[in-house]
Structure 1
Amino acid sequence: MAALPPTLEWERELAAQGYTLVGGCDEVGRGALAGPVSVGLVVINAATAAELPGVKDSKLLRGPVRQALVPAIQAWAQAHAVGHASAAEIDAVGLMAALRLAGTRALAAVAAELLPGYVILDGNHDWLSVPVQPELVFAGTPAGADSGASMTVRTRIKADLTCLSVAAASVLAKVERDAMMVELAQEFPQFGWDGNKGYATAAHRAAIAGHGPTGFHRRTWRLT
């Protein structure tokens, strides 16, 4: 039996509570060996937004379908952005801090237009909010890495499967990050990034063992 598509049920519940502008947020690239972590953010008017047929968690869609959905998602959203944190930044500050850095960049990109009052974050760990003790968690991090989101952030497990705004954010992040990896593959064809997108395939690990890591690999990770 096919899974039900994501809906605006939770977003509309939030609108009824007074949160008109709601953001859906999701990351891609967390488990890759190379390339950035990327965070998509889609802000909607939760009181007036219509359903958006065809949008699902990006992992459930073929590449051409994801790409075709991007213009519709961008037109549907009140604001949207994708933020990235590089492999070098992941090595420098750790994955959770890098996710916050990428998310902060996405928030900064939409801030010129508007900011949501509430963000639905996929998963069970809030890596987006302002840390309680930033001086302990982020000592020596790049500028801006410890800022985080100051609005209400709530995690929801499998939100990319159930919340339409989060699914839309996952599509934008996946398409943008994949395009970055395809472009990098032209410079480093031996790693097959146009196919594996930097993830840990056997062929990718073998290529790292044979050629050594690049500046786009996460050198603090077990690469081979």
Structure 2
Amino acid sequence: MTAPRRKRSTAPNLTFEKSFGADGHRYIAGCDEVGRGALAGPVSVGIVVVDLDATAGLRGVRDSKLLPASQREALVPRIRRWSVASAVGHATAAEVDGLGLMAALRAAGSRAWADVLETVTPDVVVLDGNHDWLSARSQGELFQTDQGAPPVGTIACSAPVHTKIKADLTCLSVAAASVLAKVERDALMVTLAAEHPAFSWDVNKGYATEAHRGSIDAVGPSEYHRKTWRLGSVDRPGMPRIDIEG
């Protein structure tokens, strides 16, 4: 009788990151965002830099959406020690409204990038998804709504950016970045929940639950809501409905 095949591990690893070593690259930055689909609060971008000459794997890391909060929080100090550098940047709800979502993501990513540069200059960035909203070449296009002036605290990413769909599931540096961003953004929303308890942000973290929409209908939006989006339960002309958690 043939023994059943063992399932291949689905844990993210450094295989993709190590492929850049053939070109002489050493410091690889994984990058991921959270909060894209929330009705309230910031969009947040995490960056985790690994040293291919020194870094081994890190057990327990997965895409942040696949882990319970307790595991994500326990991973944060381990990720900080494991990486060469790490940071999380944020762009406010007002910036999402004023700049647009993609430019706000870039502002958040550029703030995280600025923090990382205080320790190391990455050779390459691996960005989750299929659209490069981070690199310097997109600066003019993304910041047109800001009359060409980059938001405060940003430094343009000058490293080559390689996009990869579902990188948070396969690339360890990107999965680690998603964990840092998720934990930090969730903590911000818990803090804001004390200021506006009607919206239960300590539970929904600003995402588009029906209860959250109902509270907006009842008491109106706060200063932390994205007011150019469809917020309540009733559609308003021109307001896009965004329900994606991430």
Take 1:62 and 1:169, find their aligned partners in 2: how far apart are those partners? 16
Please tell me whether the aligned partners of residues 193 and 200 of structure 2 are also in contact (alpha carbons under 8 angstroms).
yes
Partner of 2:3: none
Residue 148 of structure 1 and its aligned partner are, at CA, apart by 3.1
Please tell me whether the aligned partners of residues 23 and 118 of structure 1 are also in contact (alpha carbons under 8 angstroms).
yes
Question: The residue matched to 2:44 in structure 1 has which SS?
Answer: strand
Instruction: Give the number of equivalent residue pairs.
Output: 224
Question: The residue matched to 1:7 in structure 2 has which SS?
Answer: coil
Letter in 1 for 2:60: G
Question: The residue matched to 2:20 in structure 1 has which SS?
Answer: helix
Please tell me whether the aligned partners of residues 98 and 145 of structure 2 are also in contact (alpha carbons under 8 angstroms).
no
Partner of 2:188: 180
Matched, 1:90 2:127: no
Question: The residue matched to 1:24 in structure 2 has which SS?
Answer: strand
Letter in 2 for 1:21: Y
Question: The residue matched to 1:32 in structure 2 has which SS?
Answer: coil
Matched, 1:190 2:198: yes
Residue 14 of structure 1 and its aligned partner are, at CA, apart by 1.0
Where in structure 2 are the equivalents of 1:1-224 lying within 5 Å? 4-132=10-138, 134=140, 137-140=143-146, 143-145=149-151, 148-224=156-232
Q: CA, structure 1 residues 76+211, in 2 after alignment: closer, same or farther (shift >3 Å)? A: same
Q: CA, structure 1 residues 206+132, in 2 after alignment: closer, same or farther (shift >3 Å)? A: closer
Q: Deviations over 1:35-79 (max 9, x none)?
A: 000000001102321000000000000000000000000000000
Q: Deviations over 1:189-220 (max 9, x none)?
A: 10010000000000000000000000100000
Q: TM-score of the superposition, structure 1-length normalised?
A: 0.95
Letter in 2 for 1:115: T
Question: The residue matched to 2:146 in structure 1 has which SS?
Answer: coil
Letter in 2 for 1:45: D
Residue 18 of structure 1 and its aligned partner are, at CA, apart by 1.1
Take 2:68 and 2:134, find their aligned partners in 1: how far apart are those partners? 28
Please tell me whether the aligned partners of residues 92 and 141 of structure 1 are also in contact (alpha carbons under 8 angstroms).
no
Q: CA, structure 1 residues 31+136, in 2 after alignment: closer, same or farther (shift >3 Å)? A: closer
Residue 140 of structure 1 and its aligned partner are, at CA, apart by 2.2
* Superposition CA RMSD, Å: 1.7
Take 2:141 and 2:67, find their aligned partners in 1: how far apart are those partners? 40
Take 1:179 and 1:53, find their aligned partners in 2: how far apart are those partners? 24
Please tell me whether the aligned partners of residues 80 and 110 of structure 1 are also in contact (alpha carbons under 8 angstroms).
yes
Question: The residue matched to 1:25 in structure 2 has which SS?
Answer: strand
Take 1:12 and 1:63, find their aligned partners in 2: how far apart are those partners? 29
Please tell me whether the aligned partners of residues 42 and 77 of structure 1 are also in contact (alpha carbons under 8 angstroms).
yes
Take 2:23 and 2:81, find their aligned partners in 1: how far apart are those partners? 25
Q: CA, structure 1 residues 14+41, in 2 after alignment: closer, same or farther (shift >3 Å)? A: same
**Percent identity at matched positions?**
58
Take 2:182 and 2:62, find their aligned partners in 1: how far apart are those partners? 12
Larger radius of gyration: 2
Partner of 2:238: none
Structure 1: stretches of 5+ with no match in the other structure? none
Take 2:121 and 2:142, find their aligned partners in 1: how far apart are those partners? 28
Bigger shift: residues 138-147 or 41-50: 138-147
